[in-house]
Amino acid sequence: MPADSQTSAAEPAPAQSSQPLPGSASKHAVTFVLITVFLDMIGFGIIMPVLPRLIEEVGHVGLDRASEIGGWMFAAFAVSQFICSPLAGNLSDRFGRRPLLLLAVFGLGADFLLSAWAPTLFWLFVGRVLAGVCGSSWVIANAYIADVTAPEDRARAFGLMGAAFGVGFVIGPAIGGLLGEIGTRIPFIVAACVSFLNFTYGWFVLPESLGRDKRRRFELARANPFGAFRVFRTYPGAVPLCAVLFVFFFASSVYPAIWTFWGMAKFGWTEGMVGLTLAVFGLVMAGFQGGLTGIFVRRFGEHRTALIGLVCATIAATGYGLAGGLGVVVVLMFVHGPEGFVHPMIMAIMSRQVPENAQGELQGGISAITNIAMLFGTVFFSQIFGHFMAGGREWQSPDVAYWVAGGCLALALVLFIWLTGTTVRSATGKAAEK
DSSP 115-155: HHT--SHHHHHHHHHHHHHHTTHHHHHHHHHHHHS-GGGHH
What pLDDT does 247 receive?
Answer: 93
Report if residue 268 sits inside a domain. yes
What pLDDT does 408 receive?
Answer: 95
- 14-18, 22-26, 190-194: which has the minimum mean pLDDT? 14-18
Instruction: Check whether 9 has a pLDDT greater than 80.
Output: no
The residues, any chain, with a CB within 8 Å of residue 417's CB and separated by 6 or more, are: 307
Distances in whole angstroms, Cα of residue 58 to Cα of each of 40, 54, 115, 121, 177? 24, 6, 12, 6, 18
pLDDT band, very low/low/confident/very high, at 423 (cuts 50, 70, 90): very low
Report if residue 215 sits inside a domain. no
Instruction: Check whether 164 has a pLDDT greater than 90.
Output: no
Instruction: Check whether 38 has a pLDDT greater than 50.
Output: yes
Nearest to 306 by CA among 133, 158, 433: 158
pLDDT band, very low/low/confident/very high, at 1 (cuts 50, 70, 90): very low
DSSP 220-268: HHHHSTTGGGHHHHHSGGGSHHHHHHHHHHHHHTHHHHHHHHHHHHHH-
Burial class (CB in 10 A: 0-12, 13-18, 19+), 274: buried
Q: How many domains does the chain have?
A: 1
Q: How far apart are CA 401 and CA 387, in angstroms?
A: 10
Q: Is 355 in contact with 14 (CB distance < 8 Å)?
A: yes
pLDDT band, very low/low/confident/very high, at 393 (cuts 50, 70, 90): confident
- 19-23, 297-301, 423-427: which has the minimum mean pLDDT? 423-427
Q: How far apart are CA 191 and CA 114, in angstroms?
A: 12
Could you report the per-residue pLDDT of 87-122, keeping only the tens digit for each?
Answer: 777 777 777 778 888 888 888 888 888 888 888 889
Report if residue 3 sits inside a domain. no
Report if residue 212 sits inside a domain. no
Structural domain boundaries, residue 344: 24-206+235-433
Average confidence (pLDDT) over 121-142: 81
Q: How far apart are CA 54 and CA 261, in angstroms?
A: 12
Supply the DSSP symbol for 422.
T
Q: Which CATH number goes with the domain that contains 275?
A: 1.20.1250.20
Average confidence (pLDDT) over 52-81: 81
What pLDDT does 166 receive?
Answer: 67
**Stronger pLDDT, 431 or 62, i.e. the higher one:** 62
Instruction: Check whether 40 has a pLDDT greater than 90.
Output: no
Percentage of the chain with pLDDT > 70?
75
pLDDT band, very low/low/confident/very high, at 391 (cuts 50, 70, 90): confident
Q: Is 340 in contact with 288 (CB distance < 8 Å)?
A: yes
Instruction: Check whether 5 has a pLDDT greater than 70.
Output: no
Q: How far apart are CA 240 and CA 246, in angstroms?
A: 11
Grouping H, G, I as helix, E, B as strand and the rest as coil, residue 328 is: helix
What pLDDT does 227 receive?
Answer: 62
Average confidence (pLDDT) over 283-287: 80
What pLDDT does 101 receive?
Answer: 82
- 31-35, 57-61, 222-226, 344-348: which has the minimum mean pLDDT? 222-226
Instruction: Check whether 231 has a pLDDT greater than 80.
Output: no
Instruction: Check whether 15 has a pLDDT greater than 70.
Output: no
Report if residue 194 sits inside a domain. yes
**Number of helical (H) and strand (E) elements in the chain, helices listed first:** 19, 0
- 28-42, 100-114, 200-214, 224-238: which has the minimum mean pLDDT? 224-238
How many residues are recorded in the chain?
434
pLDDT band, very low/low/confident/very high, at 153 (cuts 50, 70, 90): low
Q: How far apart are CA 67 and CA 257, in angstroms?
A: 8
What pLDDT does 364 receive?
Answer: 66
One-letter amino acid of 342: V
**Stronger pLDDT, 169 or 80, i.e. the higher one:** 80
Could you report the per-residue pLDDT of 300-359, keeping only the tens digit for each?
Answer: 888 888 899 999 999 999 999 999 889 999 999 999 999 988 888 887 777 766 666 666
Report if residue 288 sits inside a domain. yes
What pLDDT does 17 receive?
Answer: 39
**Stronger pLDDT, 62 or 338, i.e. the higher one:** 338
Average confidence (pLDDT) over 220-226: 63
What pLDDT does 318 receive?
Answer: 95
Average confidence (pLDDT) over 199-203: 81
Distances in whole angstroms, Cα of residue 192 to Cα of each of 34, 54, 105, 117, 188? 18, 18, 10, 12, 6
Supply the DSSP symbol for 73.
H
- Of the ranges 69-73, 286-290, 307-311, 388-392, the best mean pLDDT one: 307-311
- 84-88, 104-108, 147-151: which has the minimum mean pLDDT? 147-151
pTM recorded for the entire structure:
0.68
Report if residue 83 sits inside a domain. yes
Report if residue 49 sits inside a domain. yes
